[in-house]
Amino acid sequence: MKQTDKTRKRTLIIGAGEAGRLLIQYLQMNVSCNFDVMGVLDDQVNEKAVLGIPVVGTLQAIGSVVQEKQIEHIILAIPSLKPREKIAILNRCSETGIQTEIMPDIEAIIRGEGSMAAIQNIDYADLLDRDEAQQDHNKLTPRFAGKTVLITGAGGSIGSEVVRQVAKCMPKTIILLGHGENSIYNIHREMAEKIDSLLIPIIADVQDKERLSEVFSKYQPEIIYHAAAHKHVPMMELNVREAVKNNIIGTKNLVDVSYENHVELFIMISTDKSVEPTSVMGATKKLAEWIVQTKNEEEGSGIYSIVRFGNVLGSRGSAIPLFWEQIKSGKTVTITHPDMERYFMTISEASQLVIEAGSVAKGGEVFILKMGTPQKIIEIVNKLIILAGKKKEQIEMKFIGLRDGEKIKEELFEMEEIAESEDGFAKFYCGKSRAPRKMENIGKWIHLVELMSEDEMRQALLKFANERAVLEKEYV
């Protein structure tokens, strides 16, 4: 048996392709790395050795090779693996009880931006039960080329990714609007170094209609992506008035100013929690959807449509980073309910959906990404345990119960919204508007609600969002 330095970990590399070769070269050149590579596993290589490192078997041999070679550390170096294949291999690694890590992005290493000290945290696409949706930006460019695009909430996790995706479609100007100066500064600085489009950072709050009018009058945006919102379910249960002000009044301000300035296209980002809402956040987003959809009925209107998201992996407020931190540090993982399940999408594909929906919208639709079947939260946690290179038995789970406003399951559409799409969209479902009539009088309802206590406001909000036919008479 090959003699090794006792201070260096006996390491097995999975993958003898380009990534594996690059990794071996990196380790051989960096003597300070604490890894002694004992072998390589690969299903397709015919060589007996890769850069002097013996090929010791196929991927099926992980368990036996770990025992035979007394492996202490495993590195997966096959970036082309589909999520399900990666999870399956990592699960085999997990069964050995050996620490397993995933090689960082190859291009990042070549650029000098990554190293073995920077093993990736989470690739959220690995948590999906399907392939991540991709987008053809060249196909979409004609819709946006030469246009002025305004994005609200541009500094947030969703808004900033919308900025990145829109930028690929060659707009003339991108207006980055948000009320947090640091987040707007960060996305402006990032994009200014990458694109030729004019970038205009605007600090403004959608609750300030006068400020919005100033911005629209000065810059005349033609396309609006509305990502600004309060979206944390338990937090909004405790801050009902702020949810109404930001999600409903803010949306109404933006829609009205957009109409007054003859905007061509308005896409609002919503949530599956607006479907038969049980939470303040979901109810405010439901009313915001109606405000957007009914604007299509006004004479001279542009196109006003909705994109409805499932749970966006890794977005601000997502529980996944918390689970990951709990697992990596060996803490108890806190889950609300064993049957809790959600539809999941990555930030990248969520933002791509927004852009693509904008290219085909005709007005009033609800677009939703085809996300496959919903996944139980506990299944996501189990995948995270595997990705962290640990065994399920090592991690304690505790069920803490549903929080205020939460559902065990979410739906994508209400029954009245479901429509047979003549367009046959490959990537998303397209539902029809079910906004109530007389929605133009929503201002009167808002005025009445603003005079209520928070408890009264919550009751009125949920009642109106779920019983619109009755409450049209009561409020408008």
Is residue 207 domain-shared with residue 286, that is, in the same domain?
yes
Give the pLDDT confidence score for residue 313 in this predicted structure.
Answer: 78
Judge whether 208 lies within some domain: yes
CATH number for 314: 3.40.50.720
Residue-level pLDDT at 5: 58
- Confidence at residue 415, expressed as pLDDT on a 0 to 100 scale: 66
Query: Domain range spanning residue 27?
Result: 9-120
Query: Are both 60 and 174 inside the same structural domain?
Result: no
Q: How many domains does the chain have?
A: 2
Q: Is the pLDDT of residue 73 over 60?
A: yes
273 is catalytic: yes
Same domain for 399 and 337 = yes
Please compute Rg for the chain using Cα positions. 25
- pLDDT tens readout for residues 174-219: 999 999 999 999 999 999 988 888 999 999 999 999 999 999 999 9
Residue 113's pLDDT band, with cuts at 50, 70 and 90, is very low
Return the pLDDT at 289: 93
Decide if pLDDT at 420 tops 70: no
| DSSP letters spanning 174-229 | EEEEES-HHHHHHHHHHHHTT--SEEEEEE--TT-HHHHHHHHHHH--SEEEE---
In this structure, of 28-37, 211-220, 255-264, the range with the lowest mean pLDDT score is: 28-37
87: tokens are 């999870």
| pLDDT tens profile 285-323 | 999 999 999 899 888 999 999 999 888 877 776 788 888
**Which range is least confidently modeled, 186-200, 352-366, 424-438?**
424-438
In a domain, 125, yes or no: no
Catalytic residue among 9, 273, 285, 286: 273
> Is residue 1 situated within a structural domain?
no
Look at residues 120, 154, 176 and tell me which one is the last residue of a structural domain: 120
Token pair of 389, please?
A: 């290179």
Residue 78 has pLDDT above 90, yes or no: no
Residue 46 and residue 189 in one domain: no
Give dist(CA 428, CA 436) in Å, integer. 24
Instruction: Give the C-alpha separation, 192 to 56, whole Å.
Output: 48
pLDDT band at 154, cuts 50/70/90?
very high
54: pLDDT strictly greater than 60:
yes
The model's confidence at residue 110, banded by pLDDT at 50, 70 and 90, is: very low
Instruction: Kindly report, residue by residue over 388-417, the tens digit of the pLDDT.
Output: 767 778 889 999 998 888 888 888 777 667
Does residue 129 belong to any structural domain of this protein? Answer: no
Based on the fold, state whether residues 155 and 115 are members of the same structural domain.
Answer: no
Please indicate, yes or no, whether residues 159 and 261 belong to a single structural domain of this protein.
yes
Q: Which of 120, 152, 171 is the last residue of a domain?
A: 120
Take residue 387 and report the two structure tokens written for it.
């990705």
Model pLDDT, residue 22: 84
Beta-bridge mates of residue 305 = 267
Closest to 309 (Cα-Cα) out of 247, 254, 354? 354
Q: Average pLDDT in the 414-430 region? A: 67
Last residue of a domain, one of 120, 146, 162: 120
Residue 441 belongs to some domain of the structure? yes
